[in-house]
Amino acid sequence: MQKRRLGKSTLEVSAIGLGCMGLSYGYGPATDREEGIRIIRAAAERGVTLFDTAEAYGPFTNEELVGEALGPIRNQVVIATKFGWNIDPETGQRRAGLNSRPEHIKVATEGMLKRLRTDHIDLLYQHRVDPEVPIGEVAGTLKDLIAEGKVNHYGLSEAGAQTIRRAHAVHPITAIQSEYSIWTRDPEAEVLPACEELGIGFVPWSPLGQGFLTGKIDATTTFDSSDFRASFPRFTLAAREANLALVDLLKQIAERKKATPAQVAIAWLLAQRPWIVPIPGTTKLYRLEENLGSVGVELAPVDLRDIEASFAKIPVEGARLPEQILQYSNR
């Protein structure tokens, strides 16, 4: 597995990480616990060193799974997790909105450390920017946690460029995590240039478009009621039918490269910047191996130009997230 450094930080990780959310939450019924542990450990055995979770995934259950799976090899891996939603730290009960008050961050961090079975969090993100708490206070709290040795690196998720700059002025940010893929290009206008200027790494979540870019989802696909894609605008029947043109193009490129559409989608991200580290998730071992095989798919400059020209002619149908979730992004 190739390695990449997140921006100008000291944090070096595998070129592809593992997004662990879907093992417990979000994409239908939770994976059997033993199978989830098997997937996480299989990723580590294949050279993955960056594992991504959050207190909100469950809540709490995904962090517990990751903690159990990685406990025996804790010092060989990088664990990233997130705070920021208004979750009762004792019961895990979800409350409305966000909560990044300094006192809440500190209590939440203690819970994360216990669930992850560790004495430090390698990379701690603010999951969403809380408009009720100045970003300088949040960054200052992370600075304190880093000084105490409970956190090693500070990150922001789904933050806008101005917020990134203000936070980075208080304490250096190691990574920004936002949705980014060949069909979700929002970070390109302002966030990626800010990362490049400030020396911050970028971690795209959902690099496979919540599975759509694999080519395994079409107009006949049905989603479980516990699968959040059932309510996503980009996954309505009409949107899926329209967006299949994107997948058809990926399939054409994949055939030329002797790869799969998923591998081309991840390879495209890896080719954008040397400090981008995608974190595809999966519940299947063969998909894990397919995703990791993306590092061997080389897209030359001429390939990237052809892809760009072709995709520019294909409009994406549907917003990437429902409005009630999208309102918390790019603040």
Tens digit of pLDDT at every position of the chain (331 positions): 999 999 999 999 999 999 999 999 999 899 999 999 999 999 999 999 999 999 999 999 999 999 999 999 999 999 999 999 999 999 999 999 999 999 999 999 999 999 999 999 999 999 999 999 999 999 999 999 999 999 999 999 999 999 999 999 999 999 999 999 999 999 999 999 999 999 999 999 999 999 999 999 998 999 998 999 999 999 999 999 999 999 999 999 999 999 999 999 999 999 999 999 999 999 999 999 999 999 999 999 999 999 999 999 999 999 999 999 999 999 9
Domain ranges of the chain: 3-209+272-297
The CATH superfamily of 3-209+272-297 is NADP-dependent oxidoreductase domain (3.20.20.100)
Q: What secondary structure, in 3-state letters, does 282-313 show?
A: CCCHHHHHHHHHHHHCCCCHHHHHHHHHHHCC
Instruction: Give the separation between CA 251 and CA 261, rounded to whole angstroms.
Output: 5
Q: How many CA atoms lie within 13 A of 11 on its CB side?
A: 30
Instruction: Give the separation between CA 37 and CA 43, rounded to whole angstroms.
Output: 10
pTM of model > 0.75: yes
pLDDT at 135: 98
Question: Which residues form the catalytic set?
Answer: 57
pLDDT at 321: 94
Instruction: Give the separation between CA 290 and CA 284, rounded to whole angstroms.
Output: 10
The chain-wide mean pLDDT, for the chain, equals 96
Instruction: Give the separation between CA 243 and CA 246, rounded to whole angstroms.
Output: 6
